[in-house]
Copies of this chain bind each other. A is one copy, B any other.
Amino acid sequence: MNNTTLKEIAEQLGISIATVSKSLKNYPDVSEKTKQAVIELASQLNYTPNSFAVNLRTKESKTIGLIIPTIVHHFFSNVIKGILEEAEKRDYLVIILQSDENFELEKKQIKLLINKRVDGIIISLSNGTGDFFHLNEILSQKIPLVLFDKIAKIVECSKVMINDQKAAYDAVDYLIKKGYKKIAHFRGAYIPQNSIDRFLGYKKALEDNQIEYNPSLVYDCDNNNDFEDGYENAKKLIIENPEVDAIFAVTDLVAIGIIKYFNEIGISIPNQIAVLGFSNWFISNVISPTLTTIDQPGFEMGKKSAEILFNEIDLKRNNLPVSFQSIEIETKLIIREST
């Protein structure tokens, strides 16, 4: 750990630390000659500023924090990618944490990040998150915060999301227009707003098309294993409601579970029954039949979240007022073989 310091350079050159610092930071009030000498020696000694000291002085860490519910997840992976690319551009580093859908862990991780004095935080809330006091702690410290995907409407900060309700509505509306009459919904858990919204979109599309909403056609997928949920519920559905001709699944993974089961027992998709997913995971394009789904653009959401965050960090640095944004990223229906 032979790290060169300003002091060493100063001593070797017989000048003061201040002058060395100024030379390296291109201050105007230092002679070209000394500046060159400093720069040369610095690069010779392979000098890099001690970031700990810089942090302490500037009160900035050039680091942001990111908390997501699940790492092994196609959508979130894409979000991460979008965020990392924006951070890269600005030479910012990203600390990533996984809350594992656990409220307590999320709280602890936020504490860790605040403690670490990151310059900003991006979060997608866990399904277990019950209240938002822990978020207020971030805000009261004036740390820029962006929520994405799993957001909390009440929290006063910027947000990046999709319109789950509209997306679901469009999907179901498409199914109806295509001629499907008896449409089931495999819905998600009751806690994250997303699955509620997707359910509401489903319901509204039915109603707007004069199809009576039938609660017994709604199946719960809340065992935290979407694939299994889809598979098992498909089994049930085929017995309980054999006349259903289409299923709108809350997630591609649920849809894949459904397809898997139907493939196994020889039910033909979409001839006997159509399946429509949500998210446009990679897998939905390679399964047989390929899955009609809604594209949820994770990369763009990550990118946008990061852009907003870095913008707020800049504003804060310059003591300018920030106004929170709520951005809705466009989704689109990807029509494939399963409908």
Contacts and interface: CB of A to CB of B under 8 A. Distances in A.
A195 to B, nearest CB: 21
A77 B72 contact: yes
Contacts of A91: 112
Contact of A51 (B74, B117, B227, B288): B117
A218 interface: no
A97 interface: yes
A52 B48 contact: no
Interface stretch (A19-27, A54-62, A322-330): A54-62
A204 B91 CA distance: 46
A141 interface: yes
Contacts of A3: 141
Contact of A260 (B80, B112, B141, B286): B286
Question: Size class of A's contact patch?
Answer: 35 or more
A78 interface: yes
Q: Interface centre among A78, A116, A263, by most B CB within 10 Å?
A: A116
Contacts of A72: 74, 77-78, 81, 282
Q: Interface centre among A48, A56, A142, A263, by most B CB within 10 Å?
A: A56
A81 B76 CA distance: 13
B84 A96 contact: yes
A18 interface: no
A216 to B, nearest CB: 27
Interface string A55-89: 11001010100000001111001101100110010
Contacts of A260: 286, 288
Interface in A264-292: 282-283, 286-288
Contacts of A61: 52
A163 interface: no
A95 B93 contact: yes
A129 interface: no
Contacts of A175: none
A134 B328 CA distance: 42
A239 interface: no
Given A141-B1, A263-B288, A288-B263, A81 B98 contact: yes
Nearest to A53: B56
Contact of A59 (B52, B96, B116): B52
25 contacts: A1-B141, A3-B141, A48-B114, A48-B115, A49-B115, A52-B52, A52-B55, A52-B56, A52-B61, A53-B56, A55-B55, A56-B56, A72-B74, A72-B77, A81-B98, A84-B96, A93-B97, A93-B112, A96-B96, A257-B286, A282-B283, A283-B283, A286-B287, A287-B287, A288-B288
Given A52-B52, A72-B77, A93-B95, 5 more contacts: A72-B74, A84-B96, A256-B286, A282-B283, A283-B286
